[in-house]
Amino acid sequence: MSIKTNADKIVCVSVMGQIASPSFPGLPAQPYSLDSNGRPYLMPAYGGIVYNVSVGDSAYGWLADNVHPGVSISLKDDNGNRGLNILACVGNTAIVMSGDAKGTRGVVTGKSGRFSEHVIIHFDKASREKMAIGDKIVIRSQGVGMDLLDHSNIMLKSCSPELLEGLEVTTGSDGRLNVPVVATVPPHLLGAGAGLTSEGGSLHIQSADRDALKEAGLDNLRLGDVVALADYDSSWNHGYFRGAIGIGVVGQGDSQRSGYGPGVTLIMTSASGGINPVVSPGVNLSDVFTLNP
Amino acid sequence: MTLRTNEAQLVEMAVMGNISQPSLRYPGYTLDMNGVGRVLPGMSGIVYNARVGDPAFGWSGDHVEPGVSIANPDSGAEYALHYLTCIGNRAVVTSGLAKGAEGIVTGEHARLLIDFPSDANDLLCVGDAIQIFAYGRGLQLLDFPQIELKKCSPKLIHGIPMEVVDGKLRVPVTMVLPPRIMGSGAELNSEYVDQDIMSGDRALMAELGIDQMRLGDVVVIPDADHRWGRGYRKGAVTIALCIHGDSVMTGHGPGILTLMSTPDSCIEWVIDPSANIANYLNIREVL
């Protein structure tokens, strides 16, 4: 059964970004970050063209800090970048507009938050080889404004019509929206991103306590996995609220920093528990969109 | 009982800031948890009627910063103000009508928060310079090397009636905060400002008595490791201080500044309704 939406009325508009360079603070700052035990580390972080990590790969184990699979874009102008970060929706088509990969199409798979604010795009690995930092990429953004007509207690965020269709959600006999997810994140393991905007950016699963992570069944997450967020209301910012529930996709890899871990891009939220997460193994964007490796 | 510290080795040095002007981005709306736009005062400036020891909840304001908020316009000097100032440090007005008046540092938010007697507040002007005798960075408890102290002046450490019981440091606190309600600020390093309680679940705040919190309360967060960032770790203990008032924003609420953090269980706590820095720093008597 298809879920009724106002998708025929939502506007499709261009937002542009350029492939972002990785960046570090200038001298005399240390290049190191501190892990949750206070040990300094120096590893690749967000941004750039990541040649060997893709949606579908593990979210853990990479020697990187919140690695973005595929290609990250941003715009130097802050307001323009906000437009990009808010209007781009997971599942939107991205088209390379300059450089040797001109004309190549990709799919938006996530967003990053405070201190980076990138949009993360999947392109097949062969196309990534042809891309250059600074290449212009236009996203046909569509999704902001979309509502579920029979579920007024659910808000969609960063969710394209294609994603909603591909997730195979259904309405249960209790009126709630059944959403397949690989796992549910308990609120004590949600960290960085709380109190920040839910229209873009990321909310991070905390991974410093590996036993707690395992206990919650979150230690095998893959990039692109769809997860539920328990007792979190993301209607207006992300925050704790009993009975609320959110749905997100794992957009970024793990981090060694305290309060951080895999970054989640929120796609729907219900303050009054109108979402029923149904645990089903393997719900991942790589299958939802049949992403080319 | 006096705790052994390395305070004889600490360097005391001046940092300064100016009294800040409240600022709003036109049209100034903040969304509350129901998505309703609100315009509320609370941050920056001289707050005349909210002081350490007053309730953290109930103000028709947002992130109310008690007393006087100061900042330095130079970015490097501003970070020095943030990273060197400790709770309980002495502050002196160095310009304007209140020149010479003395206050006490009671918190660190996006600005440093200072309590002055109300007759001094009456003479203070936005922009007046305030110098802080920064003292406490580097402080350690010699018998508890695993405890990381943050922003604790020796005066605060000696003012809190702590005890060592069976090898553990016992700290009086007004209440226990569950780690699942710790929100905004998780993305920052834990040397900088605070982490908000997510107070949006009002029924839970009442159930746990958290809505009785006062500005200046010393509290405990079990299973929170704030040594290098602010995160969940089972068995860790963090002692913290309520520095600003409640908020209408989702994921926000009273601000909790880290004072001590340990990854093991060498800190224990005892509930004491008078555990407030207004008492410990002789600012005013509360309960």
The answer to whether the Cβ–Cβ distance between B233 and A35 falls below 8 Å is no
What are the chain A neighbours of B251 within 8 Å (beta carbons)? 194-196, 237-240
Stated pTM of the model: 0.95
Confidence label for B1 from pLDDT (cuts 50, 70 and 90) = low
CA dist., res. A81 & res. A69, Å (int): 20
User: What residues does A41 pair with on adjacent strands?
Assistant: A33
Both tokens assigned to A187: 């609120």
What's the pLDDT at B25? 82
Q: What is the pLDDT of residues B148-164, one digit of tens each?
A: 999 999 999 999 999 99
Asked if B225's CB is within 8 angstroms of A208's CB, the reply is yes
In the numeric block, the tokens 């149904």 are attached to: A278
Q: Is B31 on the interface with A (CB under 8 A)?
A: yes
Pick from A187, A195, A241: CB nearest B196: A195
DSSP SS3 for B205: helix
Q: ipTM of the assembly? A: 0.92
Whole-number pLDDT of residue B70: 98
A123 Cβ partners below 8 Å, 6+ apart?
Answer: A70, A71, A94, A96, A101, A104, A106, A131
Q: Is the minimum CB–CB distance between B32 and chain A shorter than 8 Å?
A: yes
Task: Verify whether the Cβ–Cβ distance A233 to B185 is below 8 Å.
Answer: no
Which amino acid, residue B92? V
B24-33, B86-95, B126-135, B168-177: the lowest-pLDDT one: B24-33
Q: How far apart are alpha carbons A124 and A56 in whole angstroms?
A: 12
- The residue among B187, B226, B238, B247 with the most chain A CBs within 10 A of its CB, best to mutate, is B187
Quote the pLDDT of residue B27: 82
Across the interface, do A114 and B200 touch by the CB < 8 Å criterion?
A: no
The rounded average pLDDT for each run of 10 residues, N- to C-terminus, in chain A (293 residues) is: 90 98 89 95 94 98 97 97 97 98 98 95 98 98 98 98 97 97 98 97 98 98 98 98 98 98 98 97 96 93
Percent of chain B at pLDDT above 90?
97
Q: Which of A193, A194, A260 has its CB closest to that of B198?
A: A194
Q: Which residues in A have their CB inside 8 Å of a CB on B?
A: 34-38, 113-115, 186-189, 191-196, 204, 206, 208-209, 211-212, 231, 233-242, 257-260
Distance CA B268, CA B71 (A): 35
* CA distance linking residue B11 with residue A138, whole number of Å: 55
Interface test with B, best of A188, A264, A266 (most B CBs within 10 A): A188
Q: A226-233 and A183-185: which strand pairing?
A: parallel
CB B259 within 8 A of CB B240: yes
B178–chain A Cβ distance below 8 A for any pair: yes
Name the minimum distance, in Å, from the CA of B32 to any CA of chain A.
8
Residue B287 has a pLDDT of: 77
Which residue has tokens 């690995």? A125
Amino acid (one-letter) located at A7: A
B-chain residues near A187 (CB < 8 A): 180-181
Which residues in chain A have Cβ-Cβ distances shorter than 8 Å to B198?
194-195, 239-241
Alpha-carbon distance values, B223 to A208, B220, B226, B232, B237 (Å): 12, 10, 10, 6, 6
User: B136: closest CA among B70, B81, B90, B84?
Assistant: B84
Nearest CA in chain B to A39: B228
Chain B nearest-CA distance from A60, in A, is 18
Which residue of A241, A252, A254 to mutate against B (max B Cβ within 10 Å)?
A241
Could A34 and B228 be called an inter-chain contact, meaning their C-beta atoms sit closer than 8 Å?
yes
Coil vs helix vs strand at B85: coil
Q: What angle do CA B108, A192, B141 make, to 5 degrees?
A: 50
